[in-house]
Amino acid sequence: MKKRRVMGIDPGLAHTGFGIIDAINGSLRLVSYGVIETSAEEDHGVRLLSIYNRLLAVIDEFRPDEAEMETLYFSRNASSALAVAEAKGVITLCLAQQAIPVYMYAPNKIKATVTGTASADKETVEQYVKLLLNMKVAPKPDHAADALAGAITHIHVCCI
């Protein structure tokens, strides 16, 4: 039995979603998911350090073999793009220090892989993640669902 553990990550300064899935002989098994949250009340550097430390704790607990992270996509707000880019840098550093290879996919690729259409809305993605992972309820919040969708995408692209 060959098992691969993949961690999906939806990067963000206020909310960083994560989802961990095992791929075992072509089937998917949900391990864990959640969101790392930081407060706008905190100093910017403290928020980045919090993301790093909490992600490291998740990595230490679940020991993923590889990671997937959504590429940056912004249509309007440059200041939020910069904050997400900084969070993404901290996440990339954390993964590199743990020797975990990271693969990146565009949001449209993730939606298309999970739902069959690149224009799927968040609710549709959540429902497909629920079905694919045999969950009783759709994963919430959407940052965690997006991270799980990213992990599913990576498994389908590289492993199945």
Which whole-number Å values give the CA distances from 73 to 33, 124, 135, in the listed order?
22, 19, 28
* Residue 71 DSSP class: P
Strands, sheet with 15-24, edge to edge from the N-terminal-most edge strand: 27-37, 15-24, 3-10, 66-70, 102-105
Distance CA 87, CA 72 (A): 11
Catalytic residue IDs = 10, 70, 143
